[in-house]
Homo-oligomer: A and B are copies of this chain.
Amino acid sequence: MSTPLTQAERSAVSDKAMLVSAMNLILAHGTDKTTLAMIGEAAGYSRGLATYQFGSKAGLYDALCKSISRNWLEYLKSGVGDKVGIEAMCAALDAIRQFVEDSPREGRVLQILYCGAASPSSEFPDTSIGIHNRQRSDVVEWVKAGQANGEIRKDVDAVAVASHYVSYISGMTYLWLTSPETFDFSTTNAEMKRQLRVSLAARGTNA
């Protein structure tokens, strides 16, 4: 209780507080208009701590991006389990939906940060690119496993299917971010699932 914190604990506490403040401020004002001083002071520290802890604004946003991504990948893993093939792809879509419902703030900020990573000389492109590449390789494996067990037709290119699938997810989350009122997550995802089932199913599996 009154036990003084160890150094490591102090750091962990301030670190976490900074990321939380950053997330709130990004949601309220966007990445550009959020200043490092605002983040530090909103977290209950000084205006200089954000720079000190994370080196730069880009460093802080990168850390935030990694933090939320870890969270999201947990969701994804537990949603997909050890499914493969079409079922894995559909389960991943459901996992996104669940994540966005349970943690809309995290979801929105992650999407905003991914967008920021698109600019040339963004200082944290690797985080975003790495995650998308990893997602795509996962999907490639799902497709190949589905082809191996006969669920998915053998004449589709697993890499092309994975690129297509990841493209859809990226764009879908982007549109959800930019126009949450007019974009219907559920029906759009349902259509995606329908198309996946119809277009990937091996002959005869398509009941």
Interface residues of A (CB under 8 A from B): 26-33, 111-112, 115-122, 125, 128-129, 132-133, 156-157, 159-161, 163-164, 166-172, 174-175, 177-179, 182-184, 187-188, 190-192, 194-196, 198-199
For A194, list chain B residues within 8 Å (CB).
Answer: 156, 199
**Contact (A160, B174) CB under 8 Å given A121-B29, A168-B168, A179-B132:** no
Instruction: Give Cα distance in the complex from A192 to B26, angstroms.
Output: 34
- Shortest distance between the CB of A18 and any CB in chain B (Å): 19
**Contact (A164, B178) CB under 8 Å given A119-B115, A120-B27, A171-B172:** no
Q: Which residue of B lies closest to A200 (CB)?
A: B195
Interface of A (DSSP majority class) = helix
Instruction: Give Cα distance in the complex from A170 to B133, angstroms.
Output: 17
Q: Which of B115, B167, B188, B190 contacts A175 (CB 8 A)?
A: B167
This chain: copies in complex:
2
Q: Which residue of B lies closest to A206 (CB)?
A: B198
Of all A-B residue pairs in the complex, the 9 with the closest CB atoms, nearest first, are A171-B171, A170-B171, A30-B119, A115-B115, A167-B171, A160-B191, A167-B172, A195-B199, A163-B188
Q: Which residue of B lies closest to A201 (CB)?
A: B198
Q: Which of B32, B119, B172 contacts A112 (CB 8 A)?
A: B119
- Shortest distance between the CB of A93 and any CB in chain B (Å): 11
Q: Which of B28, B125, B160 contacts A188 (CB 8 A)?
A: B160
Q: Is the CB of A129 within 8 A of B191?
A: no
**Contact (A117, B178) CB under 8 Å given A166-B171, A171-B170, A194-B199:** yes
Which interface residue of A115, A157, A159 has the most chain B CB atoms within 10 A? A115
For A111, list chain B residues within 8 Å (CB).
Answer: 118
Q: Is the CB of B128 within 8 A of A118?
A: no
